[in-house]
Amino acid sequence: MSYISQMNQYASYSNLLSSTFNTGSSFPTSGLVNLYSSLYSSSKAKTNQSSSSQLNSSSQAVKDYITDIKETSEELLSAVKGLNKKGKDSLFGTINAKSNDSAVSASFNGEDVPDDFEVGVSSVAKKQVNQSTALKANSSSLYQSKEHTVNITTKDGKTASFYIPVNVTSSNEDVLNKLADKINDKKLGITASVEVNEKKGTVSLKLTSKETGTDNEFYVSGGLAEELGINKVSQEAQNAVYTIDGDTYESQSNTVKFDNGVSLTFNKTTDENAEITFGEDNTKAINATRDFVNKFNDFADTAYGLNDSGALSLAKKLQSAVRTYSSSLSKIGISMNKSGYLEIDEDKMKKAAENGDLAKFFGQDSKSNIASGFSRRIETIAANAASVPESTLSQGAKKALNNTNISSASSSYDLSNTKFSSYQMNVYNRYSMASMLFDAMF
């Protein structure tokens, strides 16, 4: 073979290598080994990086699962314990007072249930109010006054005197605001405020006792007070006057509390006597049962959300507990749907609360063993999930996720390694051909 033909064959081979590896130029034989090493190292690094990323992702998924399962289990445990409380803390059998007239509100927080009674309200307790005349807000008319003093005396003997300097640039609104601030700073049991009428452009000073009743009366005097008209009472302090079963009583406040745990609030006077009755209030118990169902579903949702032996075991335990007591749960309006979540029949639950079945189910009846069994199972499942250390919780989850990602990374690596072997053989064969050519040439 001639020297020219040998060089043409080498050039042809060099172009072939360039085309194969997209180098964009003729390919010297001295770079073949370096090219292979570069390709292999780069691809291996990418594979390792991908594997690391996948494993980091799986680690975060496990952490999220652990956090969620512990939080939801603790919330479920708290909900169950709340329903199982007995005695004074029980949510069931709560006695509450009811009024048939909006004029009187009633509540009860005692032990011995009192007899029903009637209440009549002839007057409600009121605060004293003194209101000044309206002045033009931007005017300086108070500058013309020779008297700039206001004196206040309360019924319990507190006194205070206020002097307000006024100059030609002082607007009426500024003067009243300064006076109101000084009165409030004295803490006399009186609130001073400046009322603004935007439409009319006027302002007025208002003094109001902080509490109702005649014990909170106050008296206002002084030259500026007279000029403002703030010394005149707009609304007198007044006590509440009421009757209970015909007997008349008086109170400084519209809220009256009795030693037996009954509290009455007088909202307005009554045309006829209001009837105050006592009976069971199931609102707290029903709301707590709804909360239990919601917490159960949150816990179940977390357990169902991971395809892992540990999580699936939790799910099975929850479903097993519900199925075991499905008949009793149905009586109080709770059932489990096909997806493993609890649902509520509001009408059935309300009836169960009224007839005592709801309280009986959750162990309020000492003769009932239904609830204690169901509650103990749910409580045990939740308590176990909440108390397991994070380092050991759901080992199955960790293994499942890690094995899945390691397997994926391993498969990716194996595929890449197969390609590398092919490249290696291809380069080696062609490098050998190139060597033969150069040996023949030189």
Give me the residue spans of the domains in the chain: 1-93+282-442, 94-125+239-281, 129-235
Neighbours of 128 (CB within 10 A): 23
**Adjacent-strand bridge partners of 163:** 149
DSSP-based three-state secondary structure for 123: strand
Question: In angstroms, what CA-CA distances link 237 with 142, 195, 212, 233?
Answer: 29, 21, 6, 9
DSSP-based three-state secondary structure for 333: coil
Euclidean distance between CA atoms 430 and 13, whole angstroms: 8
Least confident of 44-58, 119-133, 163-177: 44-58
Closest to 13 (Cα-Cα) out of 438, 439, 419, 420: 438
Euclidean distance between CA atoms 152 and 183, whole angstroms: 9
Euclidean distance between CA atoms 213 and 241, whole angstroms: 11
Handedness of CA 91, 94, 100, 105 (dihedral sign): negative
Euclidean distance between CA atoms 191 and 210, whole angstroms: 6
Neighbours of 136 (CB within 10 A): 14
Residue 202 banded pLDDT, cuts 50, 70, 90 = very high
**pTM, whole model, 2 decimals?**
0.57
Q: Are 150 and 161 in contact (CB under 8 A)?
A: yes
Determine the residue type at 261: G
User: Residue 306 has what DSSP assignment?
Assistant: S
Q: Each residue of 407-428: pLDDT tens digit?
A: 444 444 444 455 545 555 555 5
Q: Each residue of 34-73: pLDDT tens digit?
A: 444 544 455 445 445 554 555 455 566 667 777 787 888 8
Residue 33 banded pLDDT, cuts 50, 70, 90 = very low
Closest to 289 (Cα-Cα) out of 333, 325, 323: 333
- Judged against a pLDDT cut of 50, whether residue 13 lies above it is answered with no
**Adjacent-strand bridge partners of 279:** 96
H runs (alpha helix) in 85-124: none
In three-state form (DSSP H/G/I as H, E/B as E, the rest C), the secondary structure along 73-129 is HHHHHHHHHHHHCCHHHCCCCEEEEEECCCCEEEEECCCCCCCCEEEEEEECCECCE
- Judged against a pLDDT cut of 70, whether residue 403 lies above it is answered with no
Closest to 80 (Cα-Cα) out of 367, 384, 385, 380: 380
Euclidean distance between CA atoms 4 and 288, whole angstroms: 96
Burial of 346 (0-12, 13-18, 19+ CB in 10 A): exposed
Closest to 390 (Cα-Cα) out of 56, 65, 55: 65
Burial of 115 (0-12, 13-18, 19+ CB in 10 A): exposed
Please give the average per-residue pLDDT across 304-313, as a whole number: 73
What is the pairing mode between strands 255-257 and 262-266?
antiparallel
Q: Each residue of 350-385: pLDDT tens digit?
A: 998 888 888 888 765 545 544 557 777 887 887 777
Euclidean distance between CA atoms 181 and 260, whole angstroms: 43
E strand spans, 182-232:
190-197, 202-209, 218-221
- Judged against a pLDDT cut of 50, whether residue 2 lies above it is answered with no
Least confident of 80-89, 254-263, 389-398: 389-398
- Judged against a pLDDT cut of 50, whether residue 225 lies above it is answered with yes
Euclidean distance between CA atoms 334 and 331, whole angstroms: 7
List of residues 6+ apart from 58 with CB closer than 8 A = 401, 402, 404, 405
Q: Are 202 and 135 in contact (CB under 8 A)?
A: yes
Which of 3.30.70, 2.30.30, 3.40.1580, 2.60.40 would CATH assign to domain 129-235?
Answer: 2.60.40
Euclidean distance between CA atoms 224 and 218, whole angstroms: 17
Euclidean distance between CA atoms 183 and 151, whole angstroms: 10
User: Residue 238 has what DSSP assignment?
Assistant: B
**Mean pLDDT value across the chain:** 78
Q: Are 148 and 166 in contact (CB under 8 A)?
A: yes
Residue 99 banded pLDDT, cuts 50, 70, 90 = very high
